[in-house]
C-alpha cells in the first residue's frame, strides 16, 4: 500500500493552526452561522409558544436537511450525533440515523486524475475495465466497478477531489465555534470542543484508505475462516490513501427481503447471525465493525454475510470486555449496588461518584427482570431505560461505548423491521454464557461464582438459565464445557460454589429414606469402579434422575447425554468431586450411627 500524495493533517493542532484567506473564512463562517442561527430561532419560537415537544419531529427533520446542505463535514457531524443519545433527545437520534451519506457524483475525469496521481499511471494501464457509472457516491468518495488486467473483478473507491481542504476548513471553524460556546454559554455542560475533536479524528481515519485496507486485512485474519462470514480481499498494490482497490462482492443488501427469500434464505436467520457475529467480534476477536448498516453488509448467493467498508472500526481490550459481561451478569441477578459500581468501572461515571442515590432508580428500572422473564430484555430496551439517567447525571459516554451502541443499535433496528418480536437477549445470552464459563478468565469466574451463589445458597433458576444458554450456543462444545465446569469448580474462584454444591447434594441425599440411601451408596461404589458396565451406568443414570431431581431439573436434557455422563466420571476433577460427596456422606452416616 502506498501513502497519499496529499497528506492528511497529522493532528488536531495542525487544523487549529490552519490558515485560509480571510474572505474565504468569513464566507464559510457566515454560511454555517446562518444555518445554525435560523435553526435556533425556530427552536426558540417553539419554546416560547410551548410547542417544543410537539414540534420535535419536525425540527429533527429540518436539522437533517440543514446538515446535508452544509456538506460532507456536517453530514459526518450528524452521523456522530446519531450515536450520542447522551447529548441530544431520542427523536433527533432516530432522525439522524436516517441521514444519507450521499452527494452527487463527481466527474469521471476527476476520478481518473486522482487514480493517476495516486498510482503513478493512467487508470487504463491498471484496470482492464472501469465502469463509467459509479455504483455509489458518498460525501467522501465514490465507488466504481472494474476489472484488473489479471482478470479479477474489483471495486475501486476514489476519494472526492479537494475534500481534504473542505474538511480542514470546516473543522477549523467548528473548533472556533465550539470553544466560544464552551466559554460563553453557561447552560451547556457537555464538552463540545471534545465532540468536535472526536468528529475530526473520526473523519480523517475514515479518509485514510490505506488504514481501511489494513483494517479489512485484520478483519479477514480474525474472522475470514468462519463458514458464514465473507471478507473481500484488498489489492494492496493498487491502494493508497485516496484510492482503494478491493475484491468485488456479488450480493444483495441484508434488508433486501424479496431477493433473500428468492435465494431460499430466511432474512430473520441472517439478522440473528449478524447479531451473534457482532457479539463474537466484541467478546472474542476484540476488533469489531462499528458501522454495519445495510449498505455495508451484503448477503452472497451462498448465504454468507459479506462485510464492506472498514473505515469505522474499533477495538476492545479484554479488561473492558470482562467488565461489560460482569455488568450484564449483575443486571440479570439484580445486584444493583454492584451494577451502580460497574458504571464507574466502565467510566460512565467519574471515580468517587456517590452511587447510593442511583441504586433505587436502577432497582425500579430493572428490578422486575426475573419476574417478567429476562428473555424480554433487549439491547434497545435496556438503553432506553438508562437514557433518563444519562440526562439526569450528565454522563459522558466514552467513545468506545458510542461505537458499540452504534453497532448493536443498527443491527437491532434492522432486526425489528423483520421481526418485531426480536429480542437481543435471546440471541446474545447463549454466547455470553458459554464465553463466561469457557474463557478461563479469573475475573469472569469470580463473577460467575457470585452469579450462582447468593448468601451461600445456589441460585438454581439462574444456573438453569446459564446451562440452557450454554447448550444453545451455535459453537457449543460439550466436552470443552464439561472440562471448564469442573476446572471452574476446582479453581480458587469456584471453591465456595463447589463447597455449597457438595453440601446441598449430600443434604438432599441424607433426606432420602434409609433403604434408598443404602442403594445410593451402592451406586457410588459402582461409579468409582473403573470397569463399570454401560448397562449399570444407565441404571445409575435413571436412579439419579429419581433421587437428585432438583439438580437435574437445572440441566437441559440435551446438555449431557448418557455416554458423556459416563465419561464424566473418568475425569480427575469429577472423581475428586464424587469422592468429596462420598466422604461427606460417610461422615454423616457415621455421626448418625454413633448417635443411635
From the list 235, 337, 253, the residue with the least C-alpha distance to 297 is 253
Q: Is 63 in the same domain as 121?
A: no
Give 403's Cβ-side CA count (13 Å radius).
Answer: 20
Q: Is 435 in the same domain as 495?
A: no
Is 265 inside a domain boundary?
A: no
Is 283 inside a domain boundary?
A: no
Q: Is 200 in the same domain as 235?
A: no
From the list 243, 497, 292, the residue with the least C-alpha distance to 408 is 292
Give residue 568's domain range.
478-595
Q: Is 149 in the same domain as 172?
A: no
Is 127 inside a domain boundary?
A: yes
Choosing from 204, 234, 262, the residue where a domain stops is: 204
- In the residue annotation, 291 being an active-site residue is answered as yes
Cβ 148 vs Cβ 157: under 8 Å? no
**Domain count of the chain?**
4
Would you call 310 helix, strand, or coil by DSSP?
A: coil
Contacts of 47 (CB under 8 A, 6+ apart): none
CATH of the domain at 146: 3.30.200
Cβ 504 vs Cβ 458: under 8 Å? yes
Q: Is 340 in the same domain as 416?
A: yes
Q: Is 126 in the same domain as 27?
A: no
Cβ 158 vs Cβ 137: under 8 Å? no
Is 295 inside a domain boundary?
A: no
Is 453 inside a domain boundary?
A: no
pTM given for the model? 0.79
| Cell numbers at 422, concatenated | 426480536
DSSP per-residue codes, 203-221 = HHHHH-HHHHHHHHHHHHH
Q: Is 198 in the same domain as 91?
A: yes
Q: Is 48 in the same domain as 197?
A: yes
What pLDDT shows up at residue 236? 95
Contacts of 267 (CB under 8 A, 6+ apart): 254, 255, 257, 260, 261, 418
Choosing from 141, 176, 204, the residue where a domain stops is: 204
> Any long-range contacts for 522-527 (C-beta under 8 Å, 24+ apart)?
524/578, 524/581, 524/582, 524/585, 527/569, 527/578
Is 557 inside a domain boundary?
A: yes
In this structure, the dihedral spanned by the alpha carbons of residues 56, 61, 67 and 70, taken in order and rounded to 10 degrees, is -120
Q: Which residues of 374-389 are buried (b: 16+ CB within 10 A; e: fewer)?
A: beebbbbebbeebeeb
Q: Which of 291, 322, 335, 465 is flagged as catalytic?
A: 291
Q: Is 415 in the same domain as 516?
A: no
SS in 3 state form for 433-465? HHHHHHCCCHHHHHHHHHHHECCCCECHHHHHH
Choosing from 447, 469, 494, the residue where a domain stops is: 447
Q: What's the farthest any 2 CA atoms get from each other in the chain? A: 105
What pLDDT shows up at residue 350? 81
- For the chain, list residues with pLDDT below 50: 5-6, 373-375, 513, 531-532, 540-541, 543-554, 557
Cβ 154 vs Cβ 245: under 8 Å? yes
Is 141 inside a domain boundary?
A: yes
The total number of residues written for the chain in this structure: 596
Is 68 inside a domain boundary?
A: yes
Q: Is 126 in the same domain as 172?
A: no
Q: Is 514 in the same domain as 591?
A: yes
Burial of 152 (0-12, 13-18, 19+ CB in 10 A): middle
What pLDDT shows up at residue 232? 96
Q: Is 419 in the same domain as 498?
A: no
Amino acid at each position: 500500500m502506498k501513502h497519499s500524495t496529499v497528506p492528511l493533517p497529522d493532528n488536531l493542532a495542525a487544523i487549529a493552526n490552519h490558515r485560509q484567506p480571510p474572505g474565504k473564512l468569513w464566507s464559510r463562517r457566515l454560511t454555517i452561522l446562518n444555518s445554525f442561527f435560523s435553526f435556533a430561532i425556530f427552536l426558540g419560537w417553539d419554546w416560547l409558544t410551548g410547542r417544543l415537544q410537539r414540534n420535535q419531529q419536525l425540527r429533527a427533520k429540518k436539522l437533517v436537511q440543514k446538515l446535508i446542505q452544509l456538506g460532507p463535514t456536517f453530514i459526518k457531524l450528524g452521523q456522530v450525533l446519531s450515536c450520542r443519545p447522551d447529548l441530544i433527545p431520542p427523536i433527533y437520534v432516530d432522525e439522524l440515523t436516517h441521514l444519507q451519506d450521499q452527494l452527487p457524483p463527481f466527474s469521471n475525469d476527476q476520478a481518473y486524475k486522482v487514480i493517476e496521481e495516486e498510482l503513478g499511471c493512467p487508470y487504463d494501464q491498471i484496470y482492464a475495465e472501469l465502469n463509467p457509472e459509479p455504483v455509489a457516491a458518498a460525501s467522501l468518495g465514490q465507488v466504481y466497478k472494474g476489472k484488473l488486467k489479471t482478470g479479477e473483478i474489483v471495486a475501486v473507491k476514489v476519494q472526492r477531489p479537494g475534500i481534504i481542504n473542505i474538511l480542514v476548513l470546516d473543522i477549523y471553524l467548528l473548533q472556533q465555534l465550539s470553544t466560544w460556546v464552551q466559554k460563553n454559554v453557561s447552560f451547556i455542560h457537555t464538552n463540545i470542543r471534545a465532540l468536535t475533536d472526536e468528529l475530526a479524528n473520526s473523519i480523517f481515519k475514515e479518509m485514510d484508505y490505506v488504514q481501511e485496507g489494513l483494517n479489512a486485512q485484520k478483519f479477514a485474519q480474525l474472522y475470514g475462516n468462519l463458514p458464514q462470514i465473507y471478507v473481500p480481499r484488498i489489492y494492496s498494490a493498487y491502494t493508497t490513501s485516496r484510492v482503494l482497490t478491493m475484491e468485488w462482492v456479488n450480493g444483495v443488501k441484508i434488508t433486501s427481503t424479496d431477493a433473500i427469500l428468492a435465494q431460499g434464505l430466511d432474512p430473520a436467520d441472517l439478522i440473528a447471525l449478524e447479531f451473534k457475529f457482532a457479539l463474537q467480534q466484541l467478546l472474542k476477536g476484540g476488533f469489531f465493525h462499528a458501522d454495519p448498516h445495510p449498505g455495508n453488509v451484503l448477503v452472497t448467493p451462498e448465504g454468507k454475510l459479506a462485510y464492506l467498508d472498514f473505515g469505522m472500526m474499533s477495538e476492545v481490550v479484554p479488561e473492558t470486555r470482562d467488565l461489560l459481561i460482569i455488568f450484564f451478569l449483575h443486571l440479570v441477578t439484580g445486584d444493583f449496588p454492584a451494577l451502580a459500581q460497574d458504571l464507574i468501572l466502565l467510566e460512565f461515571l467519574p471515580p468517587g461518584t456517590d452511587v447510593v442515590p442511583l441504586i433505587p432508580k436502577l432497582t425500579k428500572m430493572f428490578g422486575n427482570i426475573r419476574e417478567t422473564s429476562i428473555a424480554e430484555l433487549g439491547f434497545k430496551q435496556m438503553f432506553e431505560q438508562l437514557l433518563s439517567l444519562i440526562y439526569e447525571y450528565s454522563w459522558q459516554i466514552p467513545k468506545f461505548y458510542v461505537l458499540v451502541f452504534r453497532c448493536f443499535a443498527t443491527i437491532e433496528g434492522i432486526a425489528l423491521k423483520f421481526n418485531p418480536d426480536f429480542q437481543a437477549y435471546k440471541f446474545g445470552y447463549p454466547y455470553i454464557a458459554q464465553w463466561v464459563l469457557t474463557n478461563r478468565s479469573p475475573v469472569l469466574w469470580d463473577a460467575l461464582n457470585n452469579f450462582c451463589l447468593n448468601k451461600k445458597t445456589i441460585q438454581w433458576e439462574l444456573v438453569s438459565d446459564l446451562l440452557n444458554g450454554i447448550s444453545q450456543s451455535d459453537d457449543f462444545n460439550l466436552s470443552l464445557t464439561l472440562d471448564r465446569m469442573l476446572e471452574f469448580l476446582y479453581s480458587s474462584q469456584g471453591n465456595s460454589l463447589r463447597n455449597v454444591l457438595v453440601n446441598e447434594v449430600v443434604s438432599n441425599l441424607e433426606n432420602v429414606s434409609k433403604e434408598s440411601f443404602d442403594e445410593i451408596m451402592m451406586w457410588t461404589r459402582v461409579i468409582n469402579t473403573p470397569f463399570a458396565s454401560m448397562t449399570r451406568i444407565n441404571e445409575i443414570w435413571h436412579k439419579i434422575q429419581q433421587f437428585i431431581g432438583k439438580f437435574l431439573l437445572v440441566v437441559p436434557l440435551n446438555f449431557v447425554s448418557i455416554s458423556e455422563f459416563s465419561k464424566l466420571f473418568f475425569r480427575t476433577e469429577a472423581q475428586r468431586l464424587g469422592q468429596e460427596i462420598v466422604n461427606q456422606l460417610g461422615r454423616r452416616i457415621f455421626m448418625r450411627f454413633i448417635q443411635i
